[in-house]
């Protein structure tokens, strides 16, 4: 097999940080962990009430409800979403560092925190998925970035949970414009019929509970289209496993 320099460099980026002394990804404190105890306690130990379907934080007035008004009014195709934290500073910098900075050593940290969030929900009777998959990138974006950040997180997450991972289950039928560049009313149309289930996995999907891994849920358009695709092929339930959830607009002001 010919030597693939890009693949070799990608693996080096993943392995070297595991062999050298580390520092906290948020505050820079030296240590062997990617996240120091202080930052973990400050940013990831608070557990606000969230909508069980889209994981948006609920106001104090709605904390006793289990779904937000948007999900009640227009239910999405997915059944549940589990998020670690809100997409706010400085947590958003972790996502950007992984996604655009190539800091693949953060992927195991994301996976560990997402595992903990999922198991907390499971302890409150939420069912575990039968197996995991990751939101796929389009071919052009994958070539540009060199890796799929959702898949980089899904691999260690599947190991932590002892669940099978099917990276090739979902396929993008076409490259789409970056969702972040579109208005909210354009996002759904941009993704319509953008995904399918690979032929060899059609029987695997039918009647099963699928866990879909991604980095951030913003409007939910991508994950909604993924879930609609999986349901069209017979999935019984779809749970999103995301690292961060964009909070309600008023929380960002």
For residue 44, being part of any structural domain is answered with no
For residue 38, being part of any structural domain is answered with no
pLDDT of residue 180: 54
Residue 155, domain extent: 50-252
pLDDT of residue 152: 97
**Mind giving me the DSSP string for 140-192?**
HHHHHHSS-HHHHHHHHHHHHHT--B-TTSEEESS----GGGS-HHHHHHHHT
pLDDT of residue 128: 96
> Could you list the mean pLDDT of each consecutive 10-residue stretch along the chain, which spans 253 residues?
54 46 82 88 91 91 77 97 96 94 93 96 91 93 92 98 97 67 55 87 97 96 95 98 87 39
pLDDT of residue 51: 96
For residue 32, being part of any structural domain is answered with no
- The predicted-structure confidence for 25-47, as pLDDT tens digits, reads as follows 899 898 888 889 999 999 998 88
Burial class (CB in 10 A: 0-12, 13-18, 19+), 152: buried
User: Would residue 90 be called left, alpha or beta, if left means φ above 0 and alpha means ψ between -120 and 50 degrees?
Assistant: alpha
For residue 107, being part of any structural domain is answered with yes
pLDDT of residue 17: 45
Contacts of residue 96, Cβ cutoff 8 Å, sequence gap at least 6 = none
N-term to C-term CA, the chain: 53
Note whether 79 and 223 are within 8 A (CB): no
Note whether 76 and 130 are within 8 A (CB): no
For residue 181, being part of any structural domain is answered with yes
> How many domains does one find in the chain?
1
The CATH number linked to 74 is 3.40.50
For residue 28, being part of any structural domain is answered with no
pLDDT of residue 61: 55
pLDDT of residue 243: 98
Q: Do β-strands 30-31 and 22-23 pair in parallel, antiparallel, or remain unpaired? A: antiparallel
Ramachandran angles phi, psi of 233, nearest 5°: -95, 10
Note whether 91 and 241 are within 8 A (CB): no
For residue 5, being part of any structural domain is answered with no
């Amino acid at each position: 097999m010919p030597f693939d320099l890009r693949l070799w460099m990608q693996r080096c980026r993943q392995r070297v940080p595991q062999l050298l002394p580390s520092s906290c990804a948020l505050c820079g404190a030296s240590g062997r962990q990617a996240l120091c105890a202080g930052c973990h306690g400050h940013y990831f130990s608070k557990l606000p009430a969230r909508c069980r379907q889209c994981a948006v934080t609920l106001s104090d007035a709605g904390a006793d409800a289990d779904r937000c008004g948007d999900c009640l009014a227009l239910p999405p195709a997915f059944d549940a979403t589990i998020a670690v934290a809100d997409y706010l500073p400085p947590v958003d910098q972790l996502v950007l560092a992984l996604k655009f900075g190539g800091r693949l050593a953060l992927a195991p940290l994301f996976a560990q925190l997402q595992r903990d969030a999922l198991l907390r929900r499971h302890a409150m009777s939420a069912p575990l998925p039968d197996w995991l998959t990751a939101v796929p990138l389009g071919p052009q974006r994958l070539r540009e970035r060199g890796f799929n950040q959702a898949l980089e997180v899904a691999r260690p997450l599947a190991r932590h949970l002892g669940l099978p991972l099917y990276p090739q289950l979902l396929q993008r039928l076409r490259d789409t414009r970056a969702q972040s560049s579109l208005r909210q009313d354009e996002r759904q149309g941009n993704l319509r019929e953008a995904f399918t289930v690979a032929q060899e996995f059609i029987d695997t999907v039918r009647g099963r509970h699928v866990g879909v891994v991604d980095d951030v849920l913003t409007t939910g358009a991508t994950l909604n289209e993924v879930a609609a695709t999986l349901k069209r092929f017979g999935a019984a339930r779809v749970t999103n496993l995301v690292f961060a959830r964009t909070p309600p607009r008023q929380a960002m002001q």
